[in-house]
Amino acid sequence: MRLLLISNSTMAGEPYLDYPKYKIQEFLGKDIKKTLFIPFAGVGFSFDEYAQKVQERFTEIGYTVDPIHKYNNMLEAVEKAEAIVVGGGNTFNLLKLIQDNKLIEAIRKKVLEGTPYVGWSAGSNMACPTIKTTNDMPIIEPQSFNALNLIKFQINPHYLDTNPDGHAGETREQRLNEFLEVNQDIYVVGLREGCMIKIEGSSIILDGSKSMRIFHYAKECFEVEPGDNLSFLL
């Protein structure tokens, strides 16, 4: 199984998908030419617009974006995919449309067989057992919160250490610890912006310039750095 799970698409002041594009290229390699793109997290703009936006960046690294919504038979598109790319946006809408089109098991089977999977933000949430650690609103009701279950841990993308100035509500850390009060048997990783997790077989690494925060019930939160042993997450 090969996964590249990216926290965010865009760093402040940079073009869309600019910072991770060469990491995506390195991950996908030279043999892949076409990527099956799932734009279902897009809300407020068309799936065609979303696919075109991703294509502009993927052209720079040598890949064609093949949007799944163009297919009458989406299951067949998944089965024939060279690589699967899942964009960010609204995680609830993403999961709902994947479920409605009966794609959960097809995508999961394809990735478990070795087809590369790239996701950012909501696309990273989709690789988890559930989408219960997404940050997203509005909430659009899927059939269930169960996602692709490709990994055994939950990701909280865009992880922030502090609240914005003037906001006195719970921090992200407090929210995730509340999640663990009612989900006591799972790790949650706070994946800061500019970082990504790469999984290849039994190898898992953190890539980026920042550490990653690890949460588990009845344990003190702790930080892991790029290069640290993350095998406990597998």
Asked about 167 being catalytic, the answer comes back as: no
- Phi and psi torsions of 72, nearest 5°: -70, -35
For residues 205 and 230, the answer to whether their CB atoms sit within 8 Å is yes
Q: How far apart are CA 83 and CA 62, in angstroms?
A: 13
Q: How far apart are CA 206 and CA 199, in angstroms?
A: 9
Catalytic residue among 7, 9, 121, 124: 121
Continuous segment of H or E residues that includes residue 58: helix 47-61
Asked about 69 being catalytic, the answer comes back as: no
For residues 9 and 88, the answer to whether their CB atoms sit within 8 Å is yes
Closest CA to 6 of 66, 51, 43, 54: 54
Catalytic residue among 158, 207, 211, 216: 158
Asked about 121 being catalytic, the answer comes back as: yes
Give the active site residues. Answer: 121, 136, 158
